[in-house]
Structure 1
Amino acid sequence: MQSSLRFLAIGDSLTAGFCNYGLSNHPYAINLLKLFSLSNISIIIDQKGVSGECVVSSMVKRLENLVFNEHSPHYNWIILLGGTNDLAYRKSAQIIFSQRLKVMYDMVLQRTNQDTKLAVMTVIENGYYSPDSKYDQQRQILNEMIRNYAKNHHDQNRICLVDLDKNIKYHNIEDVNQRNIIWDDFAHLTADGYDRMAKIIFQEIYKNINQ
């Protein structure tokens, strides 16, 4: 019998599944586990989302402790999402990417075994700023940096882009009822929204597993 693949899901509140104004959590890991099970692939997911966390300072050290501690398990996949809170604090895309996200991406790809793969995710929009707002420009720049890293990395077999930004919209949903199905507030998703997020992640990783 084939052993289970082990996943690490690291990120902020969107990984933790923050919803209902913090009264409950529905991480995407719940549906991701279900989708792989339905595809007859056994996985274990360590869900390590911390609401409110920024990549500029704490997430790099947390990733190091989770993956490179002497007691850390071996991960087949590390799914990394960060930057939303940094953008909210007006950190520039350049700082978020070059000083933190890229550091974490490189850390995973350079310091783990060849059978450890990395899924990097773009940052979704929010209800506070429309895509044509000057306040949303840094998010869009950051997402291009993430896409370019994934596209241009020399080891394409070990990196996978999950482009949440292109698949989860806020402002382009004209039907308010449809928006309310997946959006809980201006920045977080409902349980249905996190389940949709899981489906997007699943589709990209499943393609990679079955290449």
Structure 2
Amino acid sequence: MQSPLRFLAFGDSSTAGFCNYGLSNHPYAINLFSSVNIPIIIDQKGIPGECVVPSMVKRLETLLFDEYSPHYDWIIILDGTNDLGYRKSAEKIFNEGLKLMYDMILERKNQNTKLSVMTVIENGYYTPEHIHDKQRQILNEMIRNYVKNYQDQNRICLIDLDKYISYHSMKDINQRKAIWDDLIHLTAAGYDLMTNIIFQDIYNKINQQS
């Protein structure tokens, strides 16, 4: 019998599936591998409102290095939105936050945990042309470059959500209402869309390695 793959879904409100103004949650992780017959265990660790720097870095370190922490085959990281909202620079978010977490996972000896990272999607407040959105775009390029330049491509996977989930370029208003709950968070249908994107990229990676 095949041993289950264990996943950690780690991040902020987008990982928690925050919707309906916090009255409900619909995490992408709940249906991540429901369409295929692969035994998995998923630990969902999303905290709404949390920033990468420094809170999330410390939380991940505590989780990974606790003696009772399980071994994770895959860790999925999605965060940065709250830091950007507080006007932190892309360089600070990446160098003092995301990169530290990525390295923390990939440099653990004898673990061979695979890392899946996601870019940050746009929000309804600022168009891609707005000066306040530029840091998000820079951050996403830093995330893409980290994955592209990592030496062992078997251990890392980029899920470029920014290329698949849009707000301002979505001309169909009904479609926008269907997947966007407010100017930052998605609806349950929006998180299901996210689930499909994440699943396909990770499933393709698993099949490549089989």
**TM-score in terms of structure 2 length:** 0.97
Q: Which of 58-67 and 112-121 deviates more?
A: 112-121
Contact residue 109 and residue 118 of structure 1 kept, 8 A: yes
Deviation string for 1:123-168 (max 9, x for gaps)? 0000000000000000000000000000110111100000010010
Q: State how 1:146-161 maps to structure 2 within 5 Å.
A: 146-161=143-158
Contact residue 7 and residue 44 of structure 1 kept, 8 A: yes
Aligned residues: 208
- Between the aligned residues of both structures, percent identity stands at 74
List gaps (5 residues or longer) in structure 2. Answer: none
Identify the residue that residue 6 of structure 1 maps to in structure 2: 6
Give, in angstroms, the shift of residue 208 of structure 1: 0.7
Matched, 1:185 2:185: no
Give, in angstroms, the shift of residue 111 of structure 1: 1.1
Deviation string for 1:40-99 (max 9, x for gaps)? 111111000000000011101111122221000000000001110000000000000011
Matched, 1:27 2:27: yes
**Cα distance change on mapping 1:183 and 1:113 into 2, 3 Å:** farther
Give, in angstroms, the shift of residue 38 of structure 1: 2.4
Matched, 1:37 2:4: no
1:201 to 191, 198, 201: 198
Matched, 1:95 2:92: yes
Contact residue 19 and residue 25 of structure 1 kept, 8 A: yes
Matched, 1:65 2:25: no
Contact residue 16 and residue 48 of structure 2 kept, 8 A: yes
Aligned-residue CA RMSD in angstroms? 0.9
Contact residue 106 and residue 112 of structure 2 kept, 8 A: no
List gaps (5 residues or longer) in structure 1. Answer: none
Structure 2 residue matching 1:194: 3-state secondary structure = helix
**Cα distance change on mapping 1:69 and 1:126 into 2, 3 Å:** same
Identify the residue that residue 163 of structure 1 maps to in structure 2: 160
Contact residue 159 and residue 197 of structure 2 kept, 8 A: yes
Contact residue 71 and residue 111 of structure 2 kept, 8 A: no
